[in-house]
Structure 1
């Protein structure tokens, strides 16, 4: 995997699920940064490159997904970055471009991720100009 691969920020407190989703995304050609709650993600964002997409759980300790979204909105952080909510909660919060209810099917997850952030090299040999 190269540094040019699209970066996804995955915020999920359930370690097994976080690891499984990260592995799947990495196998599909993405780089994945993992955080365990919203406060962890805010700290990560201060010292790392802007992700191309965020996958966000809603129900987490310390800072839940709704509080994280509210903070992003207040501080105008990550404007233009698609945020996809992965949650067992039926609530679709403002600020998210898509909502996937857990347990989410692999095909559904990858379809939404690819829609908002195509992986580098997916069916191509690099950037082309017209």
Structure 2
């Protein structure tokens, strides 16, 4: 069970996509941990409590998304944590609950995350009092 019900692990090698998705989710009140490839994510998982959701790119250097999923399966890590693949092709590998085709629309991404995670409450864009 994740420590934080709103922590999303984003594994994406393209910096502009990683930054855009992270910013969008953080504006909605989610916490985001960013990793550049599967090996980076593997090290992060060993050092941190499990996330509530994983967004996983398939095409990455060092350890790609499919190899990462296979390794998770063999090690029996993240069981019960939904994994959504972000891919340029309509392909949902075993171990993923769903996929979003790149380029991912803001609406589709937020609908997917909201469906899989409890609402984190108001984020930075929520009501402010002075």
Q: Give me the TM-score of the superposition, normalised by structure 2.
A: 0.88
Gaps in structure 1 of 5+ consecutive residues:
123-130
Instruction: State the partner residue of 2:44.
Output: 44
Matched, 1:19 2:22: no
Instruction: State the partner residue of 1:126.
Output: none
Cα contact 1:58–1:89 (8 A) shared by 2? no
Instruction: State the partner residue of 1:127.
Output: none
Cα contact 2:10–2:56 (8 A) shared by 1? yes
In 2 relative to 1, CA 4–51 (structure 1 residues): closer, same or farther, beyond 3 Å? closer
Instruction: State the partner residue of 2:126.
Output: none
Q: May I ask how many residue pairs the two structures share in their alignment? A: 120
Instruction: State the partner residue of 1:74.
Output: 74
Instruction: State the partner residue of 2:33.
Output: 33
Instruction: State the partner residue of 1:8.
Output: 8
Matched, 1:93 2:93: yes
Gaps in structure 2 of 5+ consecutive residues:
123-130
Please report the RMSD computed on the Cα atoms of aligned residues, expressed in angstroms: 1.4
How far apart are the structure 1 equivalents of 2:19 and 2:82?
21
Asked which structure has the greater RCO (Cα within 8 Å, sep 6+), the reply is 2
* Shift in Å, 1:92: 1.2
SS in 2 for 1:99: strand
Matched, 1:53 2:53: yes
Q: Give CA-to-partner distance per residue, 1:38-94, whole Å, 9 cap, x none.
A: 000000001111100000000000000000000000000000000000111332101
In 2 relative to 1, CA 4–67 (structure 1 residues): closer, same or farther, beyond 3 Å? closer
SS in 2 for 1:56: strand
